Structure 1
């Protein structure tokens, strides 16, 4: 050893180096690979030995006239092919981003949105082979709009608050959802004469979904002042609590529908008026949305898409 520092393997494992190694693997000999690449065999051998010395492994068995890849060589060739695919994918992504596709798109999704319909939209979107990375954020109540106004989302689905009150946003109606007062048939309120008054409701625990908006400016739905509560993180958890008789409260009718039909929940009439929420989808008021956001907005303009998004979510 003369003290000279060996080259860093990362400096030698260039795309060109992988091309040389791949040619040897396909040709089965250094001579054949050299002819294919238009190189002098000694130059090709020298390059391969440089890589082997840097890795401290033998990549090709040269004990015969053939050049057979060793297990280490097979692994390196496989990784080289994978790296080439990754580089090609990056090239395609960059080229498509240059045509107006966003690098990423984040969608804030309220719990009232039907997951199956949303996943079908995602499937259609990915069928385009877009360069855009898609991220879905689960939000509840005012948190859906807050994700948009804080810059954490590019599109919000199921906004319950009036988006027109927020600056620099555009919004369209998504549809209406009726909320039903649904409880387990074993709950004490199931046998109380209708309509149920607020004074009667106050005697029983309400199941409440926690608003996902940060800070104190949050929204509750159908909760009476002073009522005991069980707070959960999602509508699915709220439904599960209702089914087990852990509390009472309002549920979106599409979510409760199969359970009402099957008798696992019963709807009760209240003295207060029936609750119906108008939902919106909203996005920043940019001059020109990118290709990804434009695709989602175009699909949301279709009545069939809006109806599907407000149908019953998956069962608990």
Structure 2
């Protein structure tokens, strides 16, 4: 099917509008004025409408012509972006990179790296996805994401993954300052903790076995979506549970959360930067420039010391 509206015709209309005349458009596009007039006339004939009102001394866009120009400019912008993106893909840049962030870490921990990537001025779309517990590994294994920031070592499935250790996150058993547990003396046993609802962040895994941690048998639970909600719920006095110490450091300092001395023990979680391992013959293994850039950037030492502790020696 013949389409009367071509990219060339839209460029002519755009130039006429910006330059104010057919002659100005001809000069900008390095054409003779008659070629500009022919393009407009053919477009009008093909569409069966008047794009310009020629009743006055100067041709003026009709309402239909103005609509066509405004919508056409969006198409021109899109074709420019497509051409630029195509060139970048030819140079090894992906059109999009998806990064999963473990909910134990704040999303804004990645913002400095993203700001540095934006300074490269390459048209790569960045998608950040929050995942909980085994959900980070699940997202990578199923190729919903290209890179995981903060995958734990406990949930790792079988598969050819490349990993780099980021450090570890310690935990504190924390409650609101007005919670009844704050009145307990000495080391608090598990039976006492189990009397109160535990706030639980639901594992976001879709295919892998969901994981849970820090819940005692017969303990009631209140399930939330992520660690931010878990922190808020515990600060509101709705329940109890382990929280990543770096995420609540300020709350512990200002007293909006109180750390308890409990009998139970929660070991620090070792977190990794993870991607699929490149291997020959794997059609999915092609690593683009953006993935390599983030892999190297996020591997730089000491940049996440606010949220991740170094491994104990």
Identify whether the pair has TM-score above 0.5, normalized to the shorter chain: yes
Aligned to 1:110: 102
Q: Report 1:1-316 matches (<5 A).
A: 11-26=3-18, 28-30=20-22, 38-39=31-32, 41=34, 44-162=36-154, 166-215=158-207, 217-287=209-279, 289-308=287-306, 310=308
Cα deviation for residue 186 of structure 1 reads: 1.4
Distance 1:220 1:234 in 2: 13
- For residues 134 and 195 of structure 2, the distance between their equivalents in structure 1, rounded to whole angstroms, comes to 27
Distance 1:189 1:26 in 2: 71
CA contact (8 A) 1:28 1:66 kept: no
Q: Are the structure 2 counterparts of residues 87 and 286 from structure 1 closer, same or farther at C-alpha, using a change threshold of 3 Å?
A: same
Q: CA–CA distance in 2 between the matches of 1:108 and 1:290? A: 17
5+ residue gaps in structure 1?
1-6, 312-316
> Which consecutive residues of structure 2, in runs of 5 or more, have no partner in the other structure?
280-285
Cα 1:300/1:89, change in 2 over 3 Å: same
- How many residues matched? 302
What SS does the aligned partner of 1:156 have?
strand
On the 8 A contact 1:207/1:241 being kept in 2, the answer is yes
Distance, in Å, in 1 between the alignment partners of 2:31 and 2:168 is 70
| Contact 1:97/1:131 (8 A) holds in 2 | no
Aligned residues of 1:29 and 1:65 also touching (Cα < 8 A) = no
Q: Structure 2 CA distance, aligned partners of 1:32 and 1:268?
A: 76
TM-score (ref. length: structure 1): 0.85
Cα deviation code 1:128-155 (max 9, x no counterpart): 2223222111100111111111221111
Contact 1:24 1:67 (C-alpha < 8 Å) held by counterparts: no
Q: SS of 1:141's equivalent?
A: coil
- Map Cα deviations across residues 75-134 of structure 1 (whole Å, 9 max, x no partner): 433443332222111111111111111222111111111222212322222222223222
The Cα offsets for residues 13-44 of structure 1, whole Å up to 9 and x where unpaired, read as 11221233344435545566568754573x65
- Residues 39-74 of structure 1 show CA distances to partners (whole Å, capped at 9, x for unaligned) of 573x65454234234545432221234223334434
